[in-house]
Every structure is written in C-alpha cells, then in structure tokens.
Amino acid sequence: MTRKTTSDVAGRSTIRDVAARAGVSASTVSRVLGGDYPVSTSTRTRVMRAVRDLDYVADARAKAIAGAGTPTLAFVLDDITGPSFAHMAHGVEREATRLGHLSLVCSTDGDAERQLEFIEMMRAQRAAAVILVGGTADTTEYRERMARIADSLASAGSRLVLCGRPPLDPGTPVTVIEYDNESGAYALCAHLLAQGHRRVLFLGGKPSNTTAQGREQGYLAAHRARGVTADPALRLFGDFTRDSGHRLMRQALAQDLDFTAVMASTDMVASGALTALHEAGLSVPEDVSLVGYDDIPFARDLNPPLTTVHVPYEDLGRLAVRTALTRTPDAPDEHLLLGTHVVVRASVAPPPDTRQ
Amino acid sequence: MTRKTTSDVAGRSTIRDVAARAGVSASTVSRVLGGDYPVSTSTRTRVMRAVRDLDYVADARAKAIAGAGTPTLAFVLDDITGPSFAHMAHGVEREATRLGHLSLVCSTDGDAERQLEFIEMMRAQRAAAVILVGGTADTTEYRERMARIADSLASAGSRLVLCGRPPLDPGTPVTVIEYDNESGAYALCAHLLAQGHRRVLFLGGKPSNTTAQGREQGYLAAHRARGVTADPALRLFGDFTRDSGHRLMRQALAQDLDFTAVMASTDMVASGALTALHEAGLSVPEDVSLVGYDDIPFARDLNPPLTTVHVPYEDLGRLAVRTALTRTPDAPDEHLLLGTHVVVRASVAPPPDTRQ
C-alpha cells in the first residue's frame, strides 16, 4: 500500500496521515500514542504500524517540543544508590503521577556539567519543574550557576526547586524546601550527652557539603549548650556511604581514640561503623553507643535497631512536587523548613564507666 | 552589549549568533552544548551566558529533534527504592557517561501506561537505547506489548534492552541480559540442605513475577536433587520489600510453622525477616538459619552478616549499556545469561537438633 500522504510545512507526516493509513480517527491515534486507554490490541497494532511506516516519530518529537505530550517533571540527584534520596524520588514520582506528570530522574554522580546538560534538556522539553536534591558545596560559583539555571527555567515557564539545599539570593525565582539538619543533629547529640556521654566520636561527611555541615553544627551546638568541650580529634570526615563509615570507624579504633559513643552523619555511615565495631569485638550499646541520621527503612533491622533522626524523605518529595506544580505565577518564592525528630531505638546506653 | 543578531527562518537565534556573542567558533558552541569535552570553564561560561542571553533554547530544542544534542539512554525500573536496581542504575549511568551518553531514569511503580509514555518520549528523543529492568509477569499481552515496543524503537534507530527479564520471541529486535535466578537459588538452598536442614521456609515474591519464579524453581530443584520433600505449607508469598519479609516471618511464627531455616527471596526480605525473628526472641543462626539473595551492600552489616547470592548488579548495568551502544546494526540479537555465586557469611548453621 503506497498512499500519497499530506504533510506539514516541514515535510513531516501528520496525525491525519497516520489515522488514514490505520483506518481510524485522529483521536484514536492520539489515544494510542498518549497511552489514553482503553484501545483494543488490534487497533493499537494498526496504529503503531502506520506510525512506523510513516516515520511519524518526527511529529511526535514536534509534539514534545510544543509541550503537548505528557507534562514532565525532572528530579536530579547526585547518587542513586543513597536510600534516602531514593525514597525522596519515590515521593516525587507518586505525587507527580497524581498530578498527571511523568517524572524523569537523572543521577549525576556529582558532575555539574552533566547536571547542566540534563537541565538544558528538561528546559527544552518544557518540564514543569526541575527538582535538585541533596546538600552541595555552597560556593559563589555554585550560587551564580544556580541563579542562572533558575532564571533560565523561569523564562521557559519551568520552575527550579531546591530540596535539602540552602536558599539562593533573594529575588531568585526558586522554591526551596529544607529539612533542618542542625536541629536534628542537636537533638540527637543532646540525647547522647544526657545519657552521660562526654566523648562522642563524630563520623562526618564531606566538609564542604551543606548537609554535612548542618549536622556537624548541631553536634557542636549540643556540646556548647551542655558546657561539654568537643575534642576536635573526635571529628572524622569522609562521605555519606556505608564504606566511609566502616573505614572511619576502623581508623578510629586503630588510632585508639578515646570515645564512649559514636554519632554517624547518616544511617549508611552508622551501618558500616556498626560492622567495624562488631569486627573489633565490641558490643553496641554495652561497650559503645551508636546513632545514625535519616531513619532509612533498614535502620530498624540493624542489631541493635538504630537510634536515629527521622527525616520524612518521601513526604519531602511529595511536597516539592506539590509546591512547584500548584504555585501561581506571581506567588512569592517559597522557602519551607521542615522539622525532624529523634527516633529512640536500642543502640544507646549510658557509658560503661557510669553504670553500676 | 546589545548586538543585532541574525536568526533562522522561524525567528530564532542560531548557533552562529551564540558563537559571535561568546567570541568563539560555532564548533566550540556545539562542543559545549553537546558535552564533547574538553572545553575550559571560562569558555563554557561565556558560551552558556550567550546561550542564555539569546534564549538559544528554541534552537536547542530544534537540535534535540535532529538528534544532535547529547545522546541519551533511558533506564526504566519499577521501584526506585529497591537497592539492587539502584546499583544497576548506577552501573548504567557510569558506563553511559563513559560512552558520552546522558542516562535518564524513569521509575514507573509497575504502571505499564507510564512505562509506555516514557518509552514514547525516549523514542521521540532518539534515545540510543531503552533498558527495562527487573522481573515481570510473562503473559501473552506482555510479550506482544514488548514486541511492539522493540519494533517501534528499532524503527527510530533505538534499541530495546531487557535486563533481568526473560527473552521475547525469536526475531524480535531486542538485547536480553539475564542473571541466573534458578541456579543461584539452587546453590543457596543446596547449601542449607547440606548443613542438614530439611524444613526450609521460603519467603517468596509475587507468584507471577519471573524473578520470583526463578528463585522458587531453584529452591524446589535443590530439594528434588537431594531427595527432600518440599512442604508446600513452607512457601509464603509477598513481594521483594523489607516489610513483606517482616510480615511473612511474623505470620509464619504466629502459625507455628515447623522450620529450621529461612530462605528469603531478596536481602530486603531477609532484613525484615531477621528483625521479626529477633522480636520473637530467636537467635540467628543458633535457633534458625537465614539466607537472602542479591548481596546488596548492607547484607554484610546485618547481625549476623547474611549468607546470600551475589548478583553483580552494577556490572549488569554496565554490560547492558555497552552491549546496546556498541552493537552493529546487522549483528544478531544478543541473549546473555550471567552467573551468580553464593557468598557464605555467618547466618547459617546446622539445625539445633543435629548439634552435639
């Protein structure tokens, strides 16, 4: 069957060509391509064959440009293997679906150039919002880059959302949703100090990372509030992974550092630290107390179950989407700060020398 | 600086406008936008500023249509919170970057319509490959849908890759990379039986899921090979999450089922099961032996560290990308089956009644 087709000004097949070839209406073609069911299998097969025969992809792409396809929303994270961000992504995805958007995730391994490429692509696609998550190094270069991205997205009708990151300069078109790292870490460290601990080993993240900084600030503030000196030798820095916790804990034990409790900057770090303690023949909490941060699901499956700070990651993801998609164009820029709370489980006890 | 710009027929800025404004060649602009490194930071900054000043996005979109932007690759998974798939996504992302592609992830929560919408979008973008991961219900409808998707992608110069899924009918343009669930489960269960266990509780996934089926088949085959009857009452079904493991284990204990070992169908399931055993006052492996499947990083942080089956998820992700991006158009369709191996840790011991 070779049928002369009409075409648009650029020489591309139109939806009417596809409909005519498949012997269905244009709206049926639209339903098939848009995933707007139900359409019978045989109809779908005919339509998709016509789409293929006429290389209708060109028009599908044109639709994507015009923003007539499923509206999208983009979520950018540094490390897809970090469970806390995965749960935030899950919240984003569920809320996006509820509001009729398809969410795309890009994991950039911390590479600013890849992040920019992805954002450019999402802007070209007229994504309704671009959500960047996780702490960052808060440099002048970073703020300038983010401001440019915020302006660029705003000019394309999109919206930049920063989640778990510090706000930008006033006037920048951005939605900021933070969770309070410092208060959470303060409450957690105060819990250890209240049990009688005076030498608390801190297993930190990257010193330049804003999330890591907030948690360290809370640790220090709790010491100050109690009038306890925080020995700088008890602060070790790595990153937020399980392997970092394992390595730093082994290092602390090898150096024979003097401590009775360990405050890990994430549950993943605590998980690796716990194994290092067990490997050294130490019991938690009998010999050493241990706390984490994030309350990821398996924190309660560690032995002992981990005392930690609950951060409502899935809710944060939902809130980021809802705030970005439901805002009116002239609304003021939002800056939300969400609270966290300590979840007490079984990994903390008074220090051994204070027990009867 | 207000400089009159030339523009294309549609009134948009061209790449030459951007080049002139940035004081670089058009090919440098192309390199910056295309992610074809190396370009110095100052050059990149100048080019991106010019792109922004001239609102070059219209042309960037036109480029995306022509397929001249950063080539992309799509990765589709059901549940972004499952750590095994997150590690596969990480492998995909790293290999894609190495080969000059940007990888986009879409998590569909198991929704076939969202999957289709995303695939249509990726096809329109001329993504080099679309990688679908994880087990599925292997129905006639599923095979027909996948065959249509494979054809549709192939006609757009893209490639469907199924990772951890069964192959489609011969002749379908698809790359299939499987890991051997049945052999892994066989070896794992044989390890339990060799220790003297005769009543092994199996905590399965969804009965219709191909991955769950493979693992159950391995469990049954190991029993047959040893001449041990597998009591159907000892097979419980849920899904692959931590909460499913916790719930099924509590159920088994409440029903007073008779077993000396537990074979969980994933490490996440084992993690929840371990907590339920501890909550019931049982010790692993002294009272009950426990094994998982997947060897996700924190399997070694459970107490006791978990005996499990190592699946090289990150390598699988890399291999999927490499196979799809480096194939020649007329190469035969690939079907690779990767092996797995048992990692023996400390969660298995002989049954209590056989010990002296």
How is chain A split into domains, by residue range?
15-66, 72-180+313-340, 181-312+342-354
pLDDT at B249 over 90: yes
pLDDT in the model for residue B22:
84
Q: Which of B80, B103, B155 sits opposite A89 (nearest CB)?
A: B80
The bridge status of strand B130-133 relative to strand A308-310 is: unpaired
pLDDT in the model for residue B59:
39
Query: How far does the CA of residue B316 sit from the closest CA of chain A (Å)?
Result: 15
pLDDT in the model for residue A32:
65
Interface probe for B, chosen from A15, A107, A153 (most Cβ of B below 10 Å), is: A107
pLDDT in the model for residue A107:
86
Interface probe for A, chosen from B57, B80, B277, B345 (most Cβ of A below 10 Å), is: B80
pLDDT in the model for residue B42:
72
Contact A64 B125 (CB under 8 A): yes
Compare all CA atoms of chain B with the CA of A98 and give the residue at the minimum distance.
Answer: B114
Pick B65 or A332 by higher pLDDT. A332
pLDDT in the model for residue A226:
97
Contact A80 B57 (CB under 8 A): no
Pick B112 or A160 by higher pLDDT. A160
Residues 6+ positions from B266 with CB-CB distance below 8 Å: B84, B205, B240, B245, B292, B293, B294
Residues in A touching B60 (Cβ below 8 Å)? 120, 123-124
CA angle centred on B326, ends B324 and B332, rounded to 5°: 70
Positive or negative, the CA dihedral B265, B267, B270, B272 is negative
What one-letter code names the amino acid at B329?
Answer: P
Q: Which of B61, B125, B298 sits opposite A298 (nearest CB)?
A: B298
Contact B118 A107 (CB under 8 A): no
What one-letter code names the amino acid at A355?
Answer: R
What one-letter code names the amino acid at B154?
Answer: A
Contact A72 B102 (CB under 8 A): no
Contact B104 A102 (CB under 8 A): no
Query: Taking a C-beta distance cutoff of 8 angstroms, is the pair A118, B102 a contact?
Result: yes
Q: Which of A51, A107, A121 sits opposite B64 (nearest CB)?
A: A121
CATH fold of A15-66: 434 Repressor (Amino-terminal Domain) (1.10.260)
Mean pLDDT of chain A: 86
> Distance between CA B313 and CA B95 in Å, rounded?
13
**Domain A181-312+342-354 is in which class?**
alpha beta
Q: What percent of chain B has pLDDT over 90?
A: 58
Q: Based on DSSP, count helices (H) and strands (E) in chain A, helices before strands.
A: 12, 12
Q: What percent of chain A has pLDDT over 90?
A: 57
Residues in B touching A52 (Cβ below 8 Å)? 151-152, 155
Contact A80 B89 (CB under 8 A): yes
The bridge status of strand B261-264 relative to strand B235-237 is: unpaired
Q: What percent of chain B has pLDDT over 70?
A: 86
> Residues B12-25: what's their mean pLDDT?
76
Q: Chain A to chain B, count of Cβ pairs less than 8 Å apart?
A: 184
SS3 A161: strand
ipTM for the complex? Answer: 0.72
Residues 6+ positions from B55 with CB-CB distance below 8 Å: A155, B13
Contact B303 A303 (CB under 8 A): yes
Q: Which of A44, A107, A114 sits opposite B89 (nearest CB)?
A: A107
Pick B106 or B63 by higher pLDDT. B106
Q: What CATH number does domain B181-311+342-354 carry, 3.40.50.2300, 2.30.30.100, 1.10.3720.10, 3.40.50.1260?
A: 3.40.50.2300
pLDDT tens per residue across span A94-149: 999 999 999 998 888 878 888 888 888 888 888 999 999 988 889 999 999 999 99
Q: Which of A64, A106, A151 sits opposite B105 (nearest CB)?
A: A106
Contact B80 A105 (CB under 8 A): yes
pLDDT in the model for residue A16:
77
Q: Which candidate, A5, A163, A16, A137, places its Cα nearest to that of A76?
A: A163
Contact A69 B120 (CB under 8 A): yes
Residues in B touching A45 (Cβ below 8 Å)? 148
Contact A102 B121 (CB under 8 A): yes
- A78-87, A131-140, A162-171: least confidently modelled range: A78-87
Query: How far does the CA of residue B112 sit from the closest CA of chain A (Å)?
Result: 9
Pick A174 or A356 by higher pLDDT. A174
Query: How far does the CA of residue B61 sit from the closest CA of chain A (Å)?
Result: 5
pLDDT tens per residue across span A277-291: 999 999 999 999 999
CA B125 → CA A121, A300, B158, distances in Å?
10, 43, 10
pLDDT in the model for residue B355:
66
Contact B65 A79 (CB under 8 A): no
Compare all CA atoms of chain B with the CA of A42 and give the residue at the minimum distance.
Answer: B144
Residues in B touching A35 (Cβ below 8 Å)? 113-114, 116-117, 120
Query: How far does the CA of residue A247 sit from the closest CA of chain B (Å)?
Result: 13
Interface probe for A, chosen from B115, B296, B301 (most Cβ of A below 10 Å), is: B301
Domains A15-66 and A72-180+313-340 share a fold: no
pLDDT at B84 over 60: yes
Residues in B touching A70 (Cβ below 8 Å)? 117, 121
pLDDT at A41 over 60: yes
Pick A50 or A251 by higher pLDDT. A251
Q: Which of A60, A72, A301 sits opposite B242 (nearest CB)?
A: A301
Query: Taking a C-beta distance cutoff of 8 angstroms, is the pair B292, B266 a contact?
Result: yes
CA B350 → CA B191, B230, B234, B264, B266, distances in Å?
10, 18, 19, 18, 22
Contact A90 B102 (CB under 8 A): no
Q: Which candidate, B106, B74, B84, B81, places its Cα nearest to that of B316?
A: B84
CATH fold of B72-180+313-340: Rossmann fold (3.40.50)
> Residues A226-241: what's their mean pLDDT?
97
Q: Say how far residue B48 (Cα) sits from the centre of its chain.
A: 34
> Residues B214-220: what's their mean pLDDT?
98
Residue B330 pLDDT grade (very low, low, confident, very high; cuts 50, 70, 90): confident
> Distance between CA B8 and CA B6 in Å, rounded?
7
> Distance between CA A47 and CA A55 in Å, rounded?
12
pLDDT in the model for residue A31:
62
Mean pLDDT of chain B: 86
Strands (E), chain B: 72-77, 102-107, 130-133, 160-163, 174-179, 200-204, 235-237, 261-264, 289-291, 308-310, 335-338, 341-343
Q: Based on DSSP, count helices (H) and strands (E) in chain B, helices before strands.
A: 12, 12
Residues in B touching A120 (Cβ below 8 Å)? 33, 57, 60
